[in-house]
Structure 1
Amino acid sequence: MEALKQRIRAEGKVRGNNEVLKVDSFLNHKMDVAFLQEIGQEFRRRFAGCQVDRILTIEASGIAIACLAAPAFGNVPVVFAKKNRTKNIAGDVYISQVESFTQDRRPYNIFVSKEFLHPGEKVLLLDDFLANGSALQALTDLVRQAGAEVVGAGVVIEKAFQPGGQRLRTDGVRVESLARIQSMSEETGVVFCD
């Protein structure tokens, strides 16, 4: 998606020993809603022909992306995996574990109530970043626990120099990334694969 690449070039900031790409000026802190709607339309175009009964993401950055993509898929329900089991989550849940890339690789559990994922459903996963793939692997695990099917994973930005995308593809998950980064550094900026 060329418009996304232009935004990354113009507003993205590489930090943290060239491991972190900050795009918080339009994607995951301050959000450009009209641009996120365009991203949702692009996901719809890429997954044309796929039945999508539900969109699943993980809190927090994936929620806006999923919600603004849902209208492009006929206003399908959006479910997000919670990172903390609160009193609001009553009854049985599906549980999986994520090792966070941005939080010092500390593992944590994610939860989805069993009332919101059902056997036989076709589920599209959406998220902002794909690096090591732990979050999307955990979401895939939740869908499979429910007896549902992952139709694909839509990712806004994939760090192709990290193993997550390859891991998911090897596991049979169709991954559609709107911008794939080959390399990045504070000195040279972002180099895209395509």
Structure 2
Amino acid sequence: MLLRLRVSLPDRPGGLGQVAKTLGALGADILQVIVLEREAGRAVDDFTVSWPGPVTAAEARDRLSAMPGVRVEGVWPTKEVPGSALDYDLLMHVAAEPARGFATLVDALPGLCGAEWSLAVADGAVRHASLAAPEKFELPQSPPRAITMDADELRLMLLPVLAAGLHVVVARQEGPVFHRAEVERAARIVDVVSKLAARAVV
């Protein structure tokens, strides 16, 4: 089973090694570490691990949280294979078929963002939806810039595409709130896709 763990830990020599050692003792194989943030003496890291053993997400959270200064912000299943280049693959597909740009984007975003589903809304109607996305979705608000929010036990990322009159929504149920580094990455990808898709209209 592939899991992502978001861990906040003291940003000091050996801190990351202690977390890695604890994960190893639990039987986890660390496949990837992404540093999301380093400030005010703390770091926030996302670990992608393969967990073949019987350890539950709750047990992993308890063991890591027992380490001094360590906070587990989330443990959730992921389908993103470490080392894959899903963002590049997405952009190549959009460049090849720009007229399908937003549909391709919406299909790819759950895998890129460690989320359950995504969709694109315009004028109150769902225009594109990934697998598992609801058929109808009422946009809580129409932000002029990328934001995150909680709604109905979902963590949402709202990404405006003003030039196309769309809002892209990405939803995560099991994991933590989207980190600003995730939002910035997704917003850049949406911006590139919107520019490529615009070429198909010209």
Same fold (TM over 0.5): no
Q: Give the TM-score normalised by the residue count of structure 1.
A: 0.29
Structure of higher CA gyration radius: 2
More helix by share: 2
Q: Give the TM-score normalised by the residue count of structure 2.
A: 0.28
